Structure 1
Amino acid sequence: MESIKLTQYSHGAGCGCKISPAILDSILHSDLPKPSFKNLLVGNESKDDAAVFDLGDGTCIISTTDFFMPIVDDPITFGAIASVNAISDVYAMGGVPIMAIAILGWPVNKISGDVAKLVLEGSRQVCKEAGIPLAGGHSIDCPEPVFGLAVTGTVKKQYLKKNNTAIAGSLLYLTKPLGVGITTTAQKKNLVKPEHLGKAIESMLKLNNFGSALGELSYVNALTDVTGFGLLGHLCEVCEGSGVSAVIDFNEIPRFNFLDYYIQQKCIPGGTIRNWDSYGMKINLITEDQKVLLADPQTSGGLLVSVAEQHAKSFEIFALQHGHELKPFGKLVPKESHAVTVH
């Protein structure tokens, strides 16, 4: 099989090809009467990571889907990253995944089906790691390669986590470093160092299964994952949904330590600009370099966790026991004129 660079076939990369928050709001708006489903605990209204349906016996079903165009050239790695990213939505609700089905769009007249087979192999490997079957799916002939999953999960009702239940006074934590969008854009420009791309891929391949454990912690009052809208976009959703604001310390935010060079080389994803245009007016004044990092679209990013301040030490010990050395980068405060203020 000849070597294929998948990213040359896509106009966007990973979650950076998501529709901007502003346009998405317009698409989802409807003046039609909304039917009421009393067992639907989480739907479109809260801009959360997945839909949640109460079965009435103390158990809830979580349903989500996520797919995108290649963010890396290697097909196995592409399939794996897309799968980790999709499964993350279940973990971000405090749940446990139980099954996935594949979503595949493939330009069959441009790229061999043998390459698509490798994408699926990458997905199967991740599903095996997550302990779930890749149980089926659907495929179409498509102008650009697209892959992702629809994932079903479960959660006990009392362990369900949402993104709109944060409480003022809580501390904010992030479980993965920022900078995936900048690094992969450097790859597309043939500027990235292999070891830096390797760090980004390693991060994107890490399952957010820590979220299932967080579901059992009552002092974790809100949870989401950071993907295409960047840290600021997803933090805005938490703040606006919860009726609070956030004050964050830029120097404390986890990030890759090699980003400055790529920022200087203008390795800025188009998604960063779309993100900022959608919510920049909600952010207190920050520098250009801060904007570039905080609005950077993440693919398979980390969990954004809101923790009651009095339980911070217990949480940090718990996180360390699960392989995460975390410290807070910000705090939630009563609602202010801006959703997020950056220091």
Structure 2
Amino acid sequence: MLQVLSQLPGFCHPDLLVGGDTFDDAGVYRLDSERALVLTVDVLTPIAEDPFVFGQVAAANSLSDVYAMGGTPLAALCVLGFPIGEIDNETIRMILAGVWDKVREAGAVVAGGHTTRDMELKCGLAVFGLVHPGQMFTNAACEPGDVLVLTKPLGSGIITTAARAGRAAPEMVAQANRVMSTLNARAAAIAGECGVRAATDVTGFGLLGHTWQMAQASGVDVVLEARQVPLMPGVFELARQNLFPGGSLRNYEFIRSRAVFAQSVPEELRMLLCDAQTSGGLLLAVRGDRAAEVVSRLRKSGVDEAAVIGDVRAGIGMVRLN
């Protein structure tokens, strides 16, 4: 897709504050000096067995892109695709009920949507939010001296894949569902109050992939401390069994030539940091003198596993894993 997009002309407009050139989480279009629209769309195949939970996760995943830009969700359009005659009405109702639940929790509304015939079940949202143009987050604003804070543990990709194979304990699946369905609203609000201007959410490209994107977009180097990254309980054992989804394997193949790995970091941990996440946490670049405050406030607000995982240094877009 990157090759295809590189062959198309870009859009240049004085009010297009964030477009596709930095592969950020959402587009941002300025309306006036005080308001800018945050625009995003995301669609998932079933990530949870329970249709209500699937709807919750699909909504939280889409809403997260607005939070990753420092915005507040206003309205959403729901997109639902399914094979005709294979999905019963009650299942569809429960999926949409899960979507509605999370959109309401976000303080937004579902303004409409679209259904389409598809070969497999899919659900997602196009979300519209607002942000002050001078207070938005982007993945291109990291500065040397910043400290990186991650707000959710990793492991949703490998747990959901193991669950499909019947090899994940019920308590692991329950935690993954809880993490994936948790909104990033509180984390984004605290980050904004503490002056954060650089952020992204950790989703399909895994922690290392999204970190590399931030380093590239910001023109800096990033050093991650592998053993400080929060992980969901039990995922290391699943990693030893190589139960990673295909997306995580592709992430590792992509990043291994673009990052420097310390020999002391075991292969399983390298792979877990490439695990493709769904509705993952925010990766925040926090000014060094405010990192302890940010983590303390996050934990006090219920973002219990927020942790400092690395730092930003002058450089050219490299990632090092210690």
Q: TM-score range by the shorter chain?
A: over 0.9
Kept in 2: contact 1:167–1:221 (CA 8 A): no
Structure 1 unmatched runs, 5+: 1-23
Partner residue in 2 for 1:159: 135
2:299 aligned with 1:323? no
Match among 287, 302, 307 for residue 266 of structure 2: 287
Taking only aligned residues, the RMSD between alpha carbons, in angstroms, comes to 1.4
User: Counterpart of 1:87?
Assistant: 63
**Number of the residue aligned with 2:43:** 67
Name the TM-score, length of structure 2 as normaliser: 0.95
The residue aligned with 2:312 is 332
Deviation at 1:316? 2.5
- The correspondence for 2:205, drawn from 222, 229, 234, is 229
Structure 1 residue 202 and structure 2 residue 191: aligned? no
Alpha-carbon distance, 1:313 to partner? 2.5
Matching residue of 2:155: 179
1:53–1:62 CA contact under 8 A, matched in 2: yes
Paired residues of 1:175 and 1:303 also in contact (CA < 8 A): yes
- Matched with 1:217 is 194
In 1, are the aligned partners of 2:146 and 2:285 still within 8 Å (CA)?
Answer: yes
Which stretches of structure 1, 4 residues or more, deviate above 6 A after TM superposition? none
Cα separation, partners in 2 of 1:89 and 1:270, compared to 1, 3 Å: same
Letter in 1 for 2:251: N
Aligned residue number for residue 250 of structure 1: 226
Query: Does the 8 A contact of 2:191 with 2:294 survive in 1?
Result: no
Give the match for residue 27 of structure 1.
4
Inter-partner Cα distance in structure 1 for 2:251 and 2:313: 23
- 1:147 match: 123
Matched residue count: 317
Structure 2, unaligned runs of 5 or more: none
Partner residue in 1 for 2:146: 170
Give 1:265 deviation, angstroms: 2.1
CA distance in 1, matches of 2:31, 2:190: 21
Task: Look up the equivalent residue of 1:322 and give its one-letter code.
Answer: S
Matched letter for residue 332 of structure 1:
V
Residue equivalent to 1:299: 278
CA deviation string 1:289-328 (max 9, x = no partner):
1221011000000000001112223223332342234331
Write the distance in 1 (CA, Å) between the matches of 2:165 and 2:233. 20
Give 2:247's aligned residue: 271
Cα distance, 1:300–1:182 mapped onto 2, change above 3 Å: same
Q: Which residue of 1 aligns with 2:88?
A: 112
TM-score w.r.t. the length of structure 1 is: 0.89
Whether the 8 Å contact between 1:96 and 1:212 is mirrored in structure 2 is: no
User: 1:214-234: per-residue Cα shift (whole Å, max 9, x none)?
Assistant: 22332x231110000000010
Q: What is the match of residue 260 of structure 1?
A: 236
Shift of 1:213: 3.5
**Secondary structure at the counterpart of residue 84 of structure 2:** coil
Q: State the identity %.
A: 35
Counterpart of 1:55 (choices 20, 23, 31) is: 31
- Find the aligned partners of 2:6 and 2:249 in 1 and give their Cα distance: 23
